[in-house]
Amino acid sequence: MTTLADVVTKVRSKNAGPFWLTFDIFCAGEAEFGEICAALNTERVAAALQVSSTQLKRFEISDLNVLKFSLPRPQIQGTRHDRDMHGASFANILAELEI
């Protein structure tokens, strides 16, 4: 099985303030960027993150070969239900998706 992490340079996630979470998927080149954009359709990413696809903002940044997703944080940062203060572990969910 080939995962997203196996084919891209880096997958990271981070808070974008206490109410938003953002994912950056860095691809090594143009061809790979095109493939990843096609493979990771918004519905598939939304399903992995268990949110509706209307909540997911998608940015295809071709100058950098980066695919970016942002969404309202599943739990507001630091509430008693939040498990990850900095939001960096969410990246694993996308990194482990099969490509």
Partner 1 sequence: MTKILIPSGALGLGYDRDALARGIAEGPDLIAIDGGSTDSGPHYLGTGTSKYSRSSVKAEWRELMEARARAGVPLVIGTAGTCGADSAVDWMLDITRELAAELGQTLKIATVKSGQGGAAMAEAFAAGRITPLEAAPKISADVLSACTNIVALAGVEQINAALDTGADIVIAGRTTDTAIIAALPIARGAHPGGAWHGAKIGECGALATTSPNSGTILIEFDDAGFTITPMGAEARATPYTVSAHMLYENANPHVLFEPGGHLDVTEASYEALDDRRVRVTGSQWLPSERYTVKLEGARSGGFQTVSLALVRDARYVENIRAWVADIEAQCTEKARTRVNADFSLELRLIGVDATLGPLETSTLSAGEVGVMGIVTAEREDVSREVAKILNPYLLHHPLTEQEEMPTFAFPFSPPEMACGEIFEFCLNHVLELEDPLSAFRIETLEVGP
Interacting residues with partner 1 (CB under 8 A): 14-20, 22, 24, 26, 48-50, 57, 59, 61, 63-64, 66, 68, 70, 72-74, 76-80, 83-86, 89-90, 92-93, 96
Task: Please report how close the Cβ of residue 51 comes to partner 1 at its closest, in angstroms.
Answer: 10
The Cα 80–Cα 34 span in angstroms is 39
- Residue with smaller CB distance to partner 1, 32 or 96: 96
Beta-bridge mates of residue 68: 24, 59
**Which of 55, 63, 6, 57 is closest to 30 using CA atoms?**
63
